[in-house]
Structure 1
Amino acid sequence: MAAAAAGLVAAVAVALGGMLMAPGLTQPHGEGPPGGIGPQPRPREGVAAERRPPGRMDQALLLVLNELPEQGLRLATLSGSCHQCLYQYLAFVPPSDRSLRAPGAVWVEVDAQHPLTLQLNGSLAGTELCRIQYHFGEFGNYSLVVKLLSKSTKTVSCDLVINEGPINSYLPILFAFLVYMGLFAILIVGHLSMKFVFIMGTSIVLSLSSMLRWGSSKQKVLGKILWRSFLLILLGIIVVNPNYCLGPLSWDTLRIPGVLQRLGVTYLVVAALELLFTKPGAESGILETPCPALQDVLPYWPQWICILTLEVIWLCLTFLLPVPGCPRGYLGPGGIGDFGNYPNCTGGAAGYIDRLLLGETHIYQHPSSNVIYQTTMPYDPEGILGTINSIFMAFLGLQAGKILLFYRNQHKQILCRFVTWSTVMGMISAILTKCSKEEGFIPINKNLWSISYVTTTSCFAFILLSLMYYLVDVKRLWSGAPFFYPGMNSILVYIGHEVFENYFPFKWKMQDTQSHAEHLTQNLTATTLWVIISYLLYRRRIFWKI
């Protein structure tokens, strides 16, 4: 359900971006007037109509018409979301006949999710004739007319014409989406995704404190920690393994890393650190310390030493480990990124370690980078090296739990400390990223779980936790219902979604697979059903804990 919600939030961002951002167009090369969009003649009816492909979701149709009689055209594209990428060849447009009555024509599908740069090179000299930047609209129908303005100067113009306007498929459902999913997205991000990492750390200190306060020995608590970690890893490998789509699991194709596997390892390390270095009186929230204002930090310096040591290990492996065929410290996607210089370096040291220790067939085969960057190397976003930083994020959640424990019912103290931690994490992120998307020392990268990604998400986690604490605990304006109920059975809901996501009534065969409305209806139905299931389980006091 978290994946579906994230996809829907992305759809809203795309929709709002499409409505708020007017696409632009650059001038073509040459001395003639620039190409443009507006009151221009429509292309000849019937030109290449029999070869017109059907429209697809997140795509637009472009008819390239070549009225140049002497040379063909090579069309290449570059996505605006592809950082330092090479132009990708898309199609060859044949030359026109000398009568100009039959221009060369080719239909192509172009991406409507991101701004594109179109480059047209002549087939004779290979020189660039024109370059156009434009953000195409979904299901739109466009024509790009290339013609000779002056035979003496060989000036070429490239005119982009809108044949059929794009369809804003988000508008009919935008209002309902914002009302229903706005609240739900906040809670999904804050109560499930963060529950699994940041809030998992918060719950560790509260649950361990409770067990020790009720007289459980550290040996018994350690046994529970080991058993819970083992179950999480086992469920991730056996039950929630994406390679079931390839048929029955076999050791040859078994994916070893995964979401629950990472959670299991993260929980084991953070819970063991908390149990090992817990102080007498901590379970009651009263701990004698020379500096009461820092009673949630200073007594736990051994934990911080361990976490900082892990971060030093991550930094050394990431930036100093030699990776064959790749520069040291490479953090890029490989493929066509970085101008195609390192096509097999996807993930840098993180990808190399996983392929070396786990084997290429035991990690994720289709990372998100292969869509934009056309990568060919397998890469697992839940790999070994990134687990170090997920431990760091859970430890920051542990710190939030200590604040709640040590400053119980001191609302001002709790909120001030949450805001302070958020500010510190935000400042670290600003330094690491240089407040830029790609040019920082360590850019934000979710697939790598880079340290800047952890500090940035933790910054917002503290902010969100402050907001929830103020609304629920201080002002008591909201109990969290109905989204409170999935949080009480979060593991069950997550595993249930992964196992039954392709079964009715959570999914059914759509009449139009290219319709955003049908996809949204299906996802909203599945989400609502899991909230109802969680509520019924809550009413019957059924909670699945491991």
Structure 2
Amino acid sequence: MNKRIEAVDILRGFTIVAMILVNTSGSWSYVYPPLLHAEWHGLTPTDLIFPFFLFIVGISIFYAYQNKPNAKSTYFKIVIRSLKLIGLGLFLNLFLPYFPFFDSFETFRITGVLQRIGIVFLVSSILFLNCNWKTLLGISVTILIGYWLLLGFVPFPDGTQPTFNKASNNWANYIDLKILGKHMWQPDYDPEGLISTFPSIASCISGILIGKVLTTLHNNVLKLVLIAVLLFLLGYLLNIYFPINKAIWSSSFVLVTSGWATLILAIIYYLTDVLKLKFGSIFKYVGMNAITIYFLSSFISKSFYLTNIGKNSNLHSYLYNSLFVNSFFSEKMSSLLYALTVVLFYMGMGYVLFKKKIFIKV
């Protein structure tokens, strides 16, 4: 595996580790602000994680399909992989421990992280197989501008003017409420909603285009840094008119997060390809089985929460209170130490899988 791909694996693994870290706090009442999503508008380090993964999916699409024939067999494999991802996501939403039963079909959440990855992978792969880079860039720009115009300027059927606020007079929330109803993450919105999937496709396309940049022979680091700066300028300028917002995956959010992903990839690429440093191998191990480790972490975490111990406790709270809550650390530090312990466990799993040459493709 050449260093260029290794840099992508390191970034992928780092992203999965960050996902697990922010998803497994010991107590949600005590979390350091950078490990939480922005309440609505704004950007925290946690908000970078999911768009980073979609960005990496885009790079992976470029490398996986750049020499693949535009044939039925290729499309079949793409569709099957997409359905697997969507199926795993639905399983996580439905599953309850003690396998005989499932959550209420009337209220279970339909959307989710893996479902969005599956849909974005499907659409982006098909676009890549049928479009050159200029067309992909045009599609991405059209999505971002069209999404801004829809959410910012198209009035609702009753004549009400749209807003970007967390309310039903926001087009993203309005459409999700109309179609998904009770099958949402929150009663009033879903961060992986239907219409916000369109700009997330643009996040993936940005990765595809960066993958093409990485195939050039010279000045890759400089090119990546310049692209990152351009994305920052465009994103923060658009933020004035369309605020950076992960929950609705705003167009400015796509540009700024793609800028950060490009910049961090440039740093990793410089360390691994230019300076030839042995950097971030443990993240590479996780990145080689990224979806498997993420799925297992979500499955086990949910099982811990839903496995009761006594009347007022579950396995998660029992372990946290028994092993991590003490007088030596603050509540937030104890909560963080629990999350870090979970992270170390899955990093160890990634190492073992890599050493045993076990690579599970979803």
**TM over 0.5, shorter chain:** yes
376, 383, 399: which one aligns with 2:193: 383
1:484 counterpart residue number: 284
Q: Match for 1:387: what amino acid?
A: T
Q: Figure out how many residues of one structure are paired with residues of the other and give that number.
A: 317
Output the amino acid matched with 1:486.
V
Contact 1:243–1:249 under 8 Å retained in 2: yes
Cα 1:506/1:314, change in 2 over 3 Å: same
Cα deviation digits, residues 385-440 of structure 1 (max 9, x gap): 111111001111111100112x14x2x2x12221221121111122112xxxxxx2
Contact kept in structure 2, 1:266 and 1:390, CA below 8 Å: yes
| Residue 458 (structure 1) aligned to one of 231, 250, 258 | 258
Higher helix share: 2
* 1:207 has 2:68 as partner: no
Relative to structure 1, the CA distance from residue 14 to residue 388 in structure 2 (aligned partners, 3 Å threshold; closer, same or farther) is closer
Tell me how far 1:197 sits from its aligned partner. Answer: 0.4
Aligned match for 2:163, one of 330, 351, 363? 330
Structure 1 segments unaligned to the other structure (5+ residues): 16-80, 84-185, 278-298, 335-343, 366-376, 434-439
Q: Compute the TM-score of the two structures, normalised by the length of structure 1.
A: 0.53
From the superposition, tell whether residues 456 and 309 of structure 1 become closer, same or farther in structure 2 (CA, over 3 Å): closer
Contact 2:133 / 2:209 at 8 angstroms: preserved in 1? no
Quote the residue 1:317 is aligned against.
150
Equivalent AA in structure 1 for residue 174 of structure 2:
Y
- Shift of the 520–308 alpha-carbon distance from structure 1 to 2, 3 Å rule, reads closer
Shift of 1:274: 0.8
The corresponding residue for 2:235 is 429
Q: Is the contact between residue 51 and residue 254 of structure 2 (CA under 8 Å) also seen in structure 1?
A: no
Give the number of the structure with larger relative contact order, counting CA–CA contacts within 8 Å between residues 6 or more apart.
2
Q: Does 1:529 align with 2:345?
A: yes
Report the alpha carbon displacement of residue 305 of structure 1 after superposing the two structures with TM: 3.2
Q: How does 1:75-474 map to 2 (within 5 A)?
A: 193=50, 196-210=53-67, 212=68, 216=69, 218-238=71-91, 240-241=92-93, 244=96, 248-277=102-131, 300-323=133-156, 327-334=160-167, 344-345=168-169, 348-358=170-180, 360-365=181-186, 377-405=187-215, 407-408=216-217, 410=218, 412=219, 414-433=220-239, 440-474=240-274
> How far off its partner does 1:320 sit?
3.8
* Offset from partner CA, 1:217-243 (integer Å, 9 cap, x none): 5322111111111111111112x2178
Aligned partners of 1:270 and 1:394 also within 8 Å: yes
Once the two structures are TM-superposed, the CA of residue 4 in structure 1 deviates from its matched residue by 4.8
What is the RMSD computed on CA atoms of the aligned residues? 3.2
**Maintained 8 Å contact 1:505/1:526:** no
Rate the CA distance shift 1:313–1:243 in 2: closer, same or farther, 3 A.
Answer: farther
CA distance in structure 1 between the partners assigned to 2:134 and 2:197 by the alignment: 22
Match of residue 91 from structure 1: none
Structure ranking higher in strand proportion: 1
Residue 259 of structure 1 aligns with an amino acid whose one-letter code is V
For the 8 Å contact 2:224–2:266, the answer to whether it is kept is yes
- The answer (yes or no) to whether the contact 2:47–2:246 under 8 Å persists in 1 is no
Asked whether the equivalents of residues 507 and 526 of structure 1 are also in contact (C-alpha less than 8 Å), the reply is no
Q: CA deviation at 1:207?
A: 0.8
**Shift in CA distance, 269/507, structure 1 to aligned 2, threshold 3 Å:** farther
**Hey, what's the Cα distance between the residues in 2 that align with 1:351 and 1:531?**
36
Counterpart contact for 2:106–2:182, Cα < 8 Å: yes
Query: How far apart are the structure 1 equivalents of 2:60 and 2:243?
Result: 29
Kept after mapping to 2: 8 A contact 1:442/1:451: yes
Structure 2 SS opposite 1:483: helix
* Counterpart residue number, 1:38: none
Other-structure match for 2:321: 510
In structure 2, the CA distance between the partners of 1:352 and 1:378, relative to structure 1 (3 Å rule), is same
- Please report how far the alpha carbon of residue 265 of structure 1 lies from its aligned counterpart in structure 2 after TM superposition: 1.0
CA displacement, residues 7-51 of structure 1 (integer Å, 9 cap, x when unaligned): 77x955579xxxxxxxxxxxxxxxxxxxxxxxxxxxxxxxxxxxx
Q: Structure 1 CA distance, aligned partners of 2:40 and 2:126?
A: 41
Letter in 1 for 2:184: I
Q: For residue 276 of structure 1, report the CA deviation from its aligned partner.
A: 1.1
Q: 1:194 to 1:429 in 2, by over 3 A?
A: closer
Query: Do 2:20 and 2:297's aligned partners in 1 also have CA atoms closer than 8 Å?
Result: no
**Amino acid paired to 2:246:** K
The offset of 1:5, in angstroms, is 2.2
In structure 2, the CA distance between the partners of 1:13 and 1:261, relative to structure 1 (3 Å rule), is closer
1:350 to partner: Cα distance: 0.3
Residues 537 and 543, structure 1, Cα contact 8 Å, conserved in 2: yes
Question: Percentage identity across aligned positions?
Answer: 28
Tell me the CA shift for residue 379 of structure 1. Answer: 0.8
Secondary structure of the 2:166 match is coil
CA distance in 2, matches of 1:243, 1:6: 21
The whole-number CA distance in structure 2 between the counterparts of 1:478 and 1:423 is 27
Q: TM-score, normalised by structure 2?
A: 0.78
Check whether the contact 1:318–1:350 (CA below 8 A) recurs between aligned residues.
yes
Cα deviation code 1:274-307 (max 9, x no counterpart): 1112xxxxxxxxxxxxxxxxxxxxx532323333
User: What is the distance in 2 between the residues matched to 1:317 and 1:189?
Assistant: 23
What is the SS of the residue equivalent to 1:510? helix
Task: Name the SS of the counterpart of 1:197 in structure 2.
Answer: helix
